[in-house]
Amino acid sequence: MSGGEAFALEKVSKRYGDLSALSEVSFTVREGEAVGYLGPNGSGKTTTLKLLSGLTRPTEGSLRLGGIDPAKDRARALASVGVLVETPGVLPYVRGRDLLEHIAEVKGLPLHERGAAVVRAAKRLDVVEPLDRPLGALSTGLLRRLLLAGSLIGDPRVLVLDEPTLGLDPAARSDLRRVLRELRQEGRTIFLSTHLLEDVEEVCHRVLFLRAGRLVGEAPVEAEAEDGATVRPRTLRVRTSSASPVAGLRALLPPEVELEETREGREFLLKFKGDEAGQSRIVRALVTGGVPVSRAEAVGSDLGTLYLQKVGREDAA
């Protein structure tokens, strides 16, 4: 991270009539930083993203994008911002290629560069084939990936993403997180609004918590870069169908994995730093080594506990 300011909100409030959607929200996101934005439905996340994407203006307070106030110079402030909103309005008969070329036009790309820019973005999200199909014929997940490709048109340095993994199956979600990690490694700024803690844990440097329109806390995401991936402390509870000697398990595990016996030699806690793929490799090593694993489950993350402390249960919000 270079440390310069990518964007900032200062005591921003937004009201719709008598409804207060945001109340005096202030925070700064640095260049190259990936920040998660967590909160229950109705907490004001989408309103914040609409402000950042220029779709609405604050009732009170101010915001800066690259040091520019979009209320004074919207086009210049948004020139280096790519946006994905949760529920974009798209015409079902429009082809994906036409939509992305329109985005390229809005971004100010010269006519002779638009076609190549569309293909580049589509390749990155693996949606080249759907470019020539009507949007209404695409699955939810495929449409989501194509819209995310649209946010990359023009090579923006700041990405404002609302629920980017919405509608994706687990494999596609994992692939998309990999793409987001790659974008972060390239030095792009990512502001990620999502309901999925896993998205934040795998992609972000820190997280902001929002409740009832107010910022109620922030925290670093315990993560570090390792070979281009994000890793974090994890705890895996493994249960075996028969007693397994601790020494035998240790021989099958990498030396950096901590092992703790919890119940009569049949249940163990494995503590390590890694991603989802690393977790799978550990379980596979045990099974391949002859350990009779009957159950393996991740123990709740610190981020999940902190989320409940800061914003509570969604049905109580």
CATH pick for 229-301 out of 3.40.50.300, 3.40.190.10, 3.30.70.980, 3.40.50.2300 = 3.30.70.980
Domain segments of the chain: what residues? 5-221+308-316, 229-301
- Please enumerate in sequence order all residues whose Cβ is within 8 A of that of 64, keeping only pairs 6 or more positions apart, or say none: 5, 7, 8, 77
214-220 vs 206-211, strand pairing mode? antiparallel
- Please enumerate in sequence order all residues whose Cβ is within 8 A of that of 308, keeping only pairs 6 or more positions apart, or say none: none
Contact 299, 199 (CB under 8 A): no
What is the three-class DSSP state of 127?
A: coil
Q: Specify the CATH class of 5-221+308-316 in words.
A: alpha beta
Cα end-to-end span (Å), the chain = 34
Q: pTM here?
A: 0.74
Sheet (strand 158-162) strand order = 81-84, 158-162, 189-193, 34-38, 206-211, 214-220
Q: What's the rounded Cα separation, in Å, for the pair 122 and 88?
A: 18
The encoded tokens of residue 246 equal 């601790």
pLDDT per residue of the chain (317 residues) written in tens, 0 to 9: 556 899 999 999 999 999 999 999 999 999 999 999 998 888 999 899 989 988 889 999 999 998 888 878 888 888 889 988 766 677 889 999 999 999 999 888 999 999 999 999 999 988 999 999 999 998 888 888 899 999 999 999 999 999 888 778 888 888 888 889 999 989 999 999 988 888 888 889 899 999 999 999 998 885 554 554 556 677 888 889 888 778 888 889 988 888 888 877 788 888 887 777 788 889 999 999 999 999 888 775 667 777 887 887 654 44
